Amino acid sequence: MNMTMRSDEVKTGYQRAPNRSLLRSLGVTQREMDLPFIGIANAYNTIVPGHTHLRQLSDKVREGIAAAGGVPFEFGVIGICDGIAMGHVGMRYSLPSRENIADSIELMAEAHRFDGLVCVGTCDKIVPGMLMAAARTNIPTILLTGGPMLSGFQDGNDLSLIDVFEGVGKVAAGSMTNEALCDLETCAMPGCGSCQGLYTANTMACMTESMGMSLPGCAAIPAVDAAKVRIARETGEAILPLVKKNICPRDIITKKSLMNAIRVDMALGGSTNTVLHLMAIATEADVPLSLADFSRISDEIPHICDMQPSGPHSMQTLYRAGGIPAVLKQLSPYLEDAISVSGKSVMAIARDAVVKNEHIIQSVQESVHSPGGLKILSGSLAPDGAVVKCAAVPQEMWRHTGPARVFDGETPAMNAILAREIKEGDIAIIRYEGPRGAPGMPEMLSPTSALMGLGYKKVVLITDGRFSGGTRGPCIGHVAPEAAVGGPIAFVRDGDVIEIDLFAKKIDLLVDAAVLDTRKKDWKPVKKQLHGVLARYAATVEQANLGAVQR
Task: Show which residues are catalytic.
Answer: 468
Please provide residue 515's backbone torsions phi and psi, each rounded to the nearest 5 degrees: -65, -45
DSSP letter for 46, please. S
Q: What is the 3-state secondary structure (H, E, C) of 458-512?
A: CCEEEECCECCCCCCCCEEEEEECCHHHCCHHHHCCCCCEEEEECCCCEEEECCC
Most distant pair of Cα atoms in the chain: their distance? 76
Q: What is the enclosing helix (H) or strand (E) of 388?
A: strand 385-388
Taking CA atoms, 402 is separated from 396, 399, 437, 500, 510, in Å, by 14, 10, 26, 9, 10
> Crossing angle, helix 273-284 and helix 255-268, to 10 degrees?
170
Helix axes 255-268, 200-210, angle to 10 degrees: 140
User: Whose CA is closest to 479, among 459, 469, 465?
Assistant: 465
Contact 164, 84 (CB under 8 A): no
521 contacts: CB under 8 Å, gap ≥ 6: none
**What's the rounded Cα separation, in Å, for the pair 235 and 229?**
10
* CA atoms of 4 and 395, how far apart (whole Å): 58
Q: Give CA–CA dist 51/45, Å, rounded.
A: 6
- Using alpha carbons, select from 118, 138, 126 the residue that is nearest to residue 102: 126
Tell the burial category of 178 from Cβ atoms under 10 Å away from its Cβ (0-12, 13-18, 19+).
exposed
CA distance 308 to 268: 10
Burial readout 287-321 (b: 16 or more C-beta within 10 A, e: otherwise):
bebebebbbebbeebbbbbbbbbbbebbbbbbbeb
